[in-house]
A and B are shown apart, each in its own frame.
Chain A
Amino acid sequence: MAEARGLRFEQVVISLRGTRLIALDCTIAPGEVLTVMGPSGSGKSTLLAAITGTLDPVFDMAGRIRLDGRDLMSLPTEARQVGILFQDEYLFPHLSVGANLAFGLKPEVRGRAERRARIEAALAEVALAGFGGRDPATLSGGQRARVALQRMLLSEPRALLLDEAFSKLDTGLRAQVRKLVFDTASRRALPVLQVTHDHSDAKAAGGEVVVLG
C-alpha cells in the first residue's frame, strides 16, 4: 500500500468550455515538492481550486485526485485535510493571533488548558511565544506568514498547497519563510504542491517542475 501515500493525480484534465487548461497524471510523495509554473491565466490557481474543492462550476474536471489513497472528489473542502497558503496570509482580522490558531486547531484536542498549551507551543516553535493576545494587523509580514503556517499545521493537513505563497515577501524574508515552510513540510512528510511564477521558488523547492501555458 506504500504507493498509495501522497497526493495522486489520476489523469486529471481540467477544461473551460471545451478548451483544455491542465492535464496532470502524477504522484507527489510525502515530503516531496511539485512546482507548477506558468504565466497568470494559465490555470495554476484552478488546479489548486480543484484540490481544495472550490473549483468554479464553469470548469469541467475529469479524472481523480487522491490523498493518501482517499478519493477527494466526493468530499467537501473541510473534510479533505488539505492545507493551503496564499500570497496574503488571510489571518482572520477579527480574531486575535491565539484565536486564529485555535480556529485551526482540531476540535478533537479537548480541554481549555490542553488547547491553550498546544497553541502556545505552536507559537514558540516559530519564535512567537507570548504573541497569542496580539491583533494580527499589528504583526510584521514575516510574523504573519509564520502565524498562517502554524494555523494551517494545527489543523493537521495531509498535504500542503502553496499559491504564490511567498511572492509578497521581500527577498531576504522570502528565503527565510520559504526555508521554514519547506523544512516543516519535509519533516512532517507532507506532499507539497506549489504554484508560482518565480524561478527562485522552484529552485528552493528542489523538486520536479511542471510548466503550464
Chain B
Amino acid sequence: MRAALSTTSPVPQRAPRRARFLPWAPLLTLAVMLGPVLAGLLGTLAPAFGYMPALGGTGVSLAAFDALFAWPGLSRAVMLSLGVGVAATGCSLAIVVLICAGWAGTRIFGMIERLLSPLLSVPHAAAAFGLAFLIAPSGWITRALSPWATGWERPPDLLILQDPAGLSLIFGLVTKEVPFLLLMTLAALGQVRPGQSLRVAQALGYGRVTGWLKVIFPLVYRQIRLPVYAVLAFSMSVVDVAIILGPNTPPTLAVQVVRWMSDPDLAFRFQAAAGAVLQLGLVLVGLGLWRLMELAVARIGRLWIASGARGRRRGEQTMRVGALVLGALAALAVIAGLAGQVAWSFAGLWQFPDFWPDAFTLRNWQRHGPRLVGPATETLVIAGAATALALLLTLASLEAEHRHGLRPATRALWLLYLPLIVPQVAFLMGFQTLSILTGVDGGRAAVVLAHLVFVLPYVFLSLSDPWRAWDRRQDTIARALGAGPDRVLWAVRLPMLLRPLLIAAAVGFAVSVGQYLPTLLVGAGRVATLTTEAVALASGGDRRVTGVFALAQTAAAFAPFALAVLLPRVLWRNRKGMRDG
C-alpha cells in the first residue's frame, strides 16, 4: 500500500502564468517591427497625393508630383541613386564572393574573419568621415604624395570628394557593405558545408575559384539573397553617407527628399512626400533590375557550368589576388580613416603638405569634450532602451517558438528583412507625421520606437541561429532533473548562450548608435545624438571637431563589442567548456 500512497502525493503542476504572454510574443515582435513601417508608408502616401489636413491639404491631387517632376535635378538624382545602389552592391558582392571563392578555409581567411566584427561596428557615418579624411584634396593620400611626387604646395582644386558621378560615395558604401555581406556569407557557408563538394570539384580538375563559383556559389547565393537586397535598397536610399561623400548638385534623391523635408517652408512637405514615394518606387525598380540580372547571371552560369571549363591557373591566381587586394583596400580605407580621425582630433597646427601635424595636443578634446556629454548620454539612453526592448522581444519570440513548438515559416524571414529593404525616407516621414498626430513627436520614446524597427531585425538575425542551434538535450536533461521551463531558461540556457546574447546586444546597440535619419526625422531635430551631431558638423568643414565627434560615435558603437568579447572571458575564466561556446 505504501506504493499506492506515494502515487497520490501532489504532483507539481506547471504554473501557466506566463503562457498568456509568450505565445503572442512573435506576433507582438512583428507588430512592433512592421507596424511603424506600414503605418509610416501610409503616412507618406497621403501627403504625396495632397492629403495633409494640418497643412491645408484635404483633397486628393497630383500637385505634389507635378512639383516634384518640375524640379530640374530630378532625372539626374534618380539616375545617381540607381547607379550608386547597383554599383555599390555589385562591387561589394563581387569582392565578397571572390574572397570566399579564393580564400575560404585558409589562414588568411581566418584573419579576415577576425577583422569582421570591429569593421562592422564602425558606424557608416564615421567610416564615411574617415574616407573623406583620406581622399580629400587635402587628405592623407595627397599629403603622402606631396610635394615630392605631385609638386603641390597647396591642396589641388580637384573634386574628388562629392564627385558628380558618385564614385567616392560608391567607394564609401563598399567599405561598409563588404564586411556585412561577408558576415552573411559566412553564416550561409556554415549551413552549406562546402568542404566536400569543393573537394569533389577539385578532384575533377576544377580550379579552386572556378569550382567554388560553380558548386558552392549557387547554394550560398540563395541564402544571402535577402541581405543582398537589403544592401541594394540601403545603398540606393542612404542619407548620412551620401551627405558626407555624395555629390551636391544635385544630390541623390534621398538626400534631396530630406532637404525638402527640413525646409522651413512647410509647403515643401508635399513635394518631399512625393519624392519619398518616388524613392520607394525607385528601390522597387532597382530590386526588379537586380532580379533580372540574377536571372541573366544564372543563365550564363548554367552555360558556363555545362561547358565544363576547369579554370585557367593564371586567371584563377589573378582573381584570388585581385579580390584580396580589393578587400584589403576596403578594410584599409576604414582603418586608415579612423586613424586619420584620431590624428585630426589630437592635431595642433597641421599645414598642407605635412604628413603629420606639428604637434599633438589635448586641446580639441578639452574644447569640444563638454559638448559631447549631452549627445553621448542621449545616444546611450536611446541605444540602451532600443537594444533592451529588442532583446526582450527576440528572446520571448524564440522561447515561445521553443516551448510551444512553433515553426518559423520561411516567409517570416522576408518580414524580418522588410524594415531593411523599405527605404527609410519612405516611411520615416509618415511615421513622423503620425507621431505628431499621436502626440509622441520629437520625444525620446518615439525615437526609441523608430530605432527598434531597425535594431530588432539585426538582434533577431544574430541571436536566432545560436539559439536554435543549442542542443535540445540540454533542455531534456535539465527538465528531467525537475527544473521547469522558466528555471531551464534562466539557469541553463541563458547563461550557456551568454556570448551570442551579448554579441546580439552589441550588434543592436551599434545599429542604434549609427541611425541618422530616424533620429533626425522622428526626433524632429530636437533629439541630438552623436551621429546627428557628427553629420551636422560635416558641413562646417572643421576636421578637428568632426574627428572628435566621429571618434566618440565609433567608440559608442565599438565598446559594447569589446565588452561582449571580454565579459564572457572574465565570467567563465574557470570554465573551459564555455571558452569557445
Whether A93 lies near B14 (C-beta < 8 A) is: no
The winner among A76, A78, A104, A157 for most chain B CB atoms within 10 A is: A78
Whether B7 lies near A69 (C-beta < 8 A) is: yes
Indicate which residue in B14, B473, B485 contacts A90 across the interface (CB closer than 8 Å): B473
Check A78/B492 contact, CB under 8 A, given A69-B4, A103-B478. Answer: no
User: Min CB distance, A134 to chain B, in Å?
Assistant: 9
Contacts of A70 in B (CB 8 A): 7, 11
Check A83/B577 contact, CB under 8 A, given A69-B3, A94-B496. Answer: no
Contacts of A4 in B (CB 8 A): 3-4, 7
User: Min CB distance, A194 to chain B, in Å?
Assistant: 15
Whether B478 lies near A93 (C-beta < 8 A) is: no
Contacts of A77 in B (CB 8 A): 476, 479-480
Contacts of A138 in B (CB 8 A): 576
In angstroms, Cα B475 to Cα A103, docked, is 13
Whether A5 lies near B473 (C-beta < 8 A) is: no
A146 touches B (CB below 8 Å): no
User: Min CB distance, A92 to chain B, in Å?
Assistant: 6
User: Min CB distance, A70 to chain B, in Å?
Assistant: 5
Contacts of B578 in A (CB 8 A): 93-94
- For B456-498 the 0/1 string (1 means CB < 8 A from A) is 0000000000000001111111111111110000011001101
A172 touches B (CB below 8 Å): no
User: Min CB distance, B18 to chain A, in Å?
Assistant: 14
In angstroms, Cα B348 to Cα A66, docked, is 82
Whether A135 lies near B574 (C-beta < 8 A) is: yes
Contacts of B11 in A (CB 8 A): 70, 75, 79
In angstroms, Cα B572 to Cα A135, docked, is 10
Whether A78 lies near B482 (C-beta < 8 A) is: yes
B307 touches A (CB below 8 Å): no
Size of interface on B: residues with Cβ below 8 Å to A: 37
Contacts of A113 in B (CB 8 A): none
CB-CB contacts below 8 Å: A71-91 with B: 75-84, 86, 88, 90
Using CB atoms, name the residue of chain A closest to B7: A69
B581 touches A (CB below 8 Å): yes
A27 touches B (CB below 8 Å): no
A136 touches B (CB below 8 Å): yes
Contacts of B482 in A (CB 8 A): 78-79, 81, 104, 106, 155
- For A127-142 the 0/1 string (1 means CB < 8 A from B) is 0000000011110000
In angstroms, Cα B581 to Cα A88, docked, is 16
Whether B496 lies near A68 (C-beta < 8 A) is: no
Whether A78 lies near B483 (C-beta < 8 A) is: yes
Contacts of B1 in A (CB 8 A): 1
Whether A93 lies near B3 (C-beta < 8 A) is: no
Whether A76 lies near B484 (C-beta < 8 A) is: yes
The winner among A2, A5, A92, A155 for most chain B CB atoms within 10 A is: A92
User: Min CB distance, A72 to chain B, in Å?
Assistant: 10
Whether A135 lies near B575 (C-beta < 8 A) is: yes
Whether B479 lies near A52 (C-beta < 8 A) is: yes
Whether A68 lies near B481 (C-beta < 8 A) is: no
User: Min CB distance, A17 to chain B, in Å?
Assistant: 16
User: Min CB distance, A91 to chain B, in Å?
Assistant: 8
Using CB atoms, name the residue of chain B closest to A2: B3
A8 touches B (CB below 8 Å): no
User: Min CB distance, B137 to chain A, in Å?
Assistant: 55
In angstroms, Cα B1 to Cα A57, docked, is 37
- For A104-148 the 0/1 string (1 means CB < 8 A from B) is 101000000000000000000000000000011110000000000
A44 touches B (CB below 8 Å): no
A42 touches B (CB below 8 Å): no
Check A157/B480 contact, CB under 8 A, given A79-B14, A94-B495, A94-B572. Answer: yes
User: Min CB distance, A65 to chain B, in Å?
Assistant: 14
In angstroms, Cα B482 to Cα A106, docked, is 8
Contacts of A53 in B (CB 8 A): 479
User: Min CB distance, B22 to chain A, in Å?
Assistant: 15
A200 touches B (CB below 8 Å): no
In angstroms, Cα B574 to Cα A138, docked, is 10
B410 touches A (CB below 8 Å): no
Contacts of B476 in A (CB 8 A): 49, 52, 54, 77, 84
A34 touches B (CB below 8 Å): no
User: Min CB distance, A159 to chain B, in Å?
Assistant: 10
A202 touches B (CB below 8 Å): no
Check A82/B496 contact, CB under 8 A, given A76-B14, A136-B577. Answer: no
A14 touches B (CB below 8 Å): no
Whether A90 lies near B6 (C-beta < 8 A) is: no
Contacts of A135 in B (CB 8 A): 574-577
Contacts of A78 in B (CB 8 A): 12, 14, 479-485
Whether B480 lies near A52 (C-beta < 8 A) is: yes
Contacts of B498 in A (CB 8 A): 94
The winner among B7, B405, B474, B581 for most chain A CB atoms within 10 A is: B7
Indicate which residue in A76, A83, A86, A137 contacts B576 across the interface (CB closer than 8 Å): A137
In angstroms, Cα B405 to Cα A49, docked, is 15
In angstroms, Cα B483 to Cα A151, docked, is 13
A152 touches B (CB below 8 Å): yes
Given A57-B405, A103-B483, 11 more pairs with CB closer than 8 A: A54-B479, A68-B3, A78-B12, A78-B483, A78-B485, A79-B14, A90-B477, A92-B474, A104-B482, A135-B577, A155-B480
**8 nearest A-B pairs in the assembled complex, by CB-CB distance:** A93-B577, A137-B576, A137-B577, A77-B479, A1-B4, A155-B481, A69-B7, A90-B477
| CB-defined A-B contacts under 8 Å, sample of 16 | A4-B4, A5-B3, A54-B475, A54-B476, A69-B7, A76-B14, A78-B480, A78-B482, A90-B477, A93-B581, A94-B495, A103-B481, A104-B481, A104-B482, A137-B575, A138-B576
Interface of A toward B, CB cutoff 8 Å: 1-2, 4-5, 49, 52-54, 56-57, 68-70, 75-84, 86, 88, 90, 92-94, 103-104, 106, 135-138, 151-152, 155, 157
